[in-house]
Structure 1
Amino acid sequence: MSDAPADDAAAAGAAAAAFAERFGAAPEGVWAAPGRVNVIGEHTDYNGGSVLPVALPHTVRAAAARRDDGRLVLVSAQHPGEDADVAVADLTPGTPGGWAGYPAGIVEQVREAAAGGLSLLVDGDVPAGAGLSSSAALECAAALAVRDLLGLDWGPDDLVDVARRAENDFVGAPTGILDQSASVLCTAGHALHLDTRDRSWDQVPLDLEAAGLALLVVDSGTTHSHAESGYGERRRQCEEAARRLGVEYLCDLPGTDALAALDDGTDEGAVLLRRARHVVTEDARVAEVVDLLRAGADPRETGPVLTAGHASLRDDFEVSVPELDAVVEAALAAGAYGARMVGGGFGGSAVALVDAGAVEAVSAAVAERAGAPRSYVVVPAAGARRLR
């Protein structure tokens, strides 16, 4: 992933040219969807809570066209030699696998409308496995292409649902709606405040540049996969904790007082207490950050809330790894106002809120002390869109 993402015109041109070279004809269109970084609100989305992501300026692009032979042909510029060519009628969860499963999971849901077949080439600069939702970006770009090419009546919520089903049911990763919602709904210059319970949302202005600040994303160099990591186990633990407490979702609880009932003297009860405590306190941290931003507070005041979120993810939810802890500690020691891991955990990236003039110094300190291979400034960007 480069520090400077490709602009829309250049990105569309490159994807269209690659498609034409591979398929011998121009695509019918090029679509893009961004990755995301979550300002605050990890593992609350499938627990009925709120989240506050921003879209990255980095995107996955999908160049696509209809076919007439009933085949789905998928090509990725980032995965040479891993093309997929399968009959639309033969699509089934897990086949094709790998990167191709994400767009295939979109087409599988509309196999009758897509019976003629599709050619799709993807390109992009959102890094895989870095906790920045490259899979959701891929799904949402493919969903936009499929919608437009097949004339489907999908609004924003439909796009989110179709993309999430591809990840949940076809690929087998039990994610919530955070990643896909951010990719579809985010707008430039804002954070998306999404209530995952009733799916209401609004845009919260986030002009860090005006405050002399920057949001620095640091890739720890340790990759993860929702389908293979402990993500599913954490989700099952949350569901069990909610069942024992008699609520549908953990975020239905008004606070942490009721959580004591989970501690029944067993190791399992102690684990469930920690998992539930993270979820309930994280949901409160989202509300605190949103309230600060809406009140016009100096965004620096959100820094300690971000850091508290990392401690909770590390100690109560236990999804951080030593590499992420080292990044956070190095960033804070170098003057960051707040820092925390982002994404589902078990690897990926961290985010730090820093003075704009301190970006280079903090980046250097993190590289030296934590060995993190790359860092870059994120500006809240636009959501999924057609490029041409």
Structure 2
Amino acid sequence: MISKEQVEHRYKTLFGTEPSHIVRSPGRINIIGEHTDYNEGFVLPTAIDKAIYVAVGRREDNQIRLYAEDFRAYFDVAIDDIQPVDLGWPNYILGVVHQLRLRGAQLGGFNLYVDGDVPLGAGLSSSAALECAAGYALNVLFDLQLGRVDIAKIGQLAEHTYAGVNCGIMDQFASVMSKAGHVVKLDCRDLSFSYKPLALGDYAILLLNTNVKHSLASSAYNDRRAACEAGVKLVQQHNAAVNSLRDVTVEMLDNWVKPIDTDIYTKCRFVVEENERLDRACKALEEGDLDELGEQMFQAHEGLSKAYEVSCAELDFLVDYVKQFPEVLGARMMGGGFGGCTINLVKTSFQDLLIERITPVYKEKFGLELTAIKVIPSDGTALL
């Protein structure tokens, strides 16, 4: 955990003045609902107790001066000269500035310091957390009167335009809007949302990071999107009211897609069923039925691995391995696939023993270190 005092002290050392504001914006997990976002479906994320911290203060001139603790690096640019840069990290902040100015925000020069404890490359959305922290900090610094949903949308557009990643809204939305002890049921079609209780009792959420990212990831993602769009087009020939897989039933797929292309059928069916699993997971949370929640997680992994084909040997191994322990109620791969983490619903008292057992077995099988990350569902973006 990074303290406010730590951030304040570093800002003062680097910029010679006190920061006006310090903002904390968290990373996120997704309990269930994978590859549903770009099909106008539902997702079930929540923020975690790992975050990006941003300290800001105004300058007398029109310079933007950034410092990233992770890279021990400064970046300077005049506010009128901002554009995407080859150096990766400034883009997440500059992209936010760009979006704010497109909306007519009157910004001046500022200093901004960034640090964080979201594990990088684990699929916990450190980039979205940085965008939202920067957006929130500039909102208060320049009194822009933006709402939280606006900040999430600005973060998403910053990622599209400056970081060059065509992401959905889930990561930014979860970072800004989460509430401790709850998950957010987010409708990716119209951004309506509700909070569902996440009362874990004797259980905890444990992430196991494979520490792999297979090169298949981006091409496979594009292929899956294309398959989903192709399935929708086939259904639309018979039903003009359908806009996305959100509107499609398994019966429609059976009638109009399966006879034409079994691969497109299988991929589309996964998305339709994943939305149904998410509904069952929400019902389980409302009833405090963690066994049922865990069962939906295991089923989701099966679908992601066999039907949607976005898993990999490392992820499948981790999910299969934990099934032998009654203390693990559910597990699945989390995120786009082909690497990253599994999310596990584990008896709190069993976490350390599970880590102790699974780490050497994973290392022996794949020659890789396994990183265990304990996370606690937490509140979204806030001023410290």
**TM-score past 0.5 threshold:** yes
Say whether the 8 Å CA contact 1:69–1:117 is kept in structure 2: yes
* Correspondence for 2:82: 91
* Correspondence for 1:216: 206
CA RMSD of aligned residues (A): 2.2
* Correspondence for 1:330: 321
Which of 271, 274, 286 aligns to 1:294? It is 286
Q: How does 1:76-87 map to 2 (within 5 A)?
A: 76-81=68-73, 83-87=74-78
Q: Deviations over 1:51-100 (max 9, x none)?
A: 1112101110011112233222222111224x3222222223x3254122
For normalisation by structure 2, the TM-score amounts to 0.90
Q: Deviations over 1:93-150 (max 9, x none)?
A: x325412211111001123645522221111111121111111111111110111111
1:254 is the counterpart of 2:264: no
* Correspondence for 1:157: 149
* Correspondence for 2:239: none
* Correspondence for 2:296: 305
* Alpha-carbon distance in 1 for matches of 2:256, 2:154: 37
Secondary structure of the equivalent of 1:222? strand
Question: 1:57 corresponds to which letter in structure 2?
Answer: D
* Correspondence for 1:317: 308
Say whether the 8 Å CA contact 2:148–2:176 is kept in structure 1: yes
* Correspondence for 1:344: 336
Q: Deviations over 1:180-207 (max 9, x none)?
A: 1111111111111112222221111112
1:144 is the counterpart of 2:141: no
Larger mean CA deviation between 70-79 and 255-264 belongs to 255-264
* Alpha-carbon distance in 2 for matches of 1:228, 1:150: 37
Seen in structure 2, the aligned counterparts of structure 1 residues 90 and 275 have a Cα distance that, compared at 3 Å, is farther
Question: 1:155 corresponds to which letter in structure 2?
Answer: G
* Alpha-carbon distance in 2 for matches of 1:222, 1:178: 23
Report deviation, 1:315: 2.1
Identity level (%): 36
Seen in structure 2, the aligned counterparts of structure 1 residues 85 and 319 have a Cα distance that, compared at 3 Å, is farther
Report deviation, 1:370: 2.0
Say whether the 8 Å CA contact 1:84–1:96 is kept in structure 2: no
Secondary structure of the equivalent of 1:202? strand
Question: 2:277 corresponds to which letter in structure 1?
Answer: R
Say whether the 8 Å CA contact 1:320–1:347 is kept in structure 2: yes
* Alpha-carbon distance in 2 for matches of 1:341, 1:181: 21
Question: 2:380 corresponds to which letter in structure 1?
Answer: G
Secondary structure of the equivalent of 2:44? strand
1:107 is the counterpart of 2:91: no
Report deviation, 1:257: 4.1
* Correspondence for 2:227: 237
* Alpha-carbon distance in 1 for matches of 2:63, 2:323: 52
For normalisation by structure 1, the TM-score amounts to 0.89
* Correspondence for 1:177: 169
1:356 is the counterpart of 2:348: yes
Alignment: residue pair count: 371
Structure 1 spans left out of the alignment, 5+ residues: 1-5
Seen in structure 2, the aligned counterparts of structure 1 residues 21 and 226 have a Cα distance that, compared at 3 Å, is farther
Seen in structure 2, the aligned counterparts of structure 1 residues 368 and 234 have a Cα distance that, compared at 3 Å, is same
* Alpha-carbon distance in 1 for matches of 2:223, 2:173: 23
Seen in structure 2, the aligned counterparts of structure 1 residues 226 and 323 have a Cα distance that, compared at 3 Å, is closer
Say whether the 8 Å CA contact 2:50–2:375 is kept in structure 1: no
Report deviation, 1:223: 4.3
* Correspondence for 1:65: 57
Structure 2 spans left out of the alignment, 5+ residues: 237-241, 364-368
1:275 is the counterpart of 2:267: yes
Say whether the 8 Å CA contact 2:100–2:154 is kept in structure 1: no
Say whether the 8 Å CA contact 1:60–1:138 is kept in structure 2: yes
Q: Deviations over 1:29-58 (max 9, x none)?
A: 110111111110111122111111121011
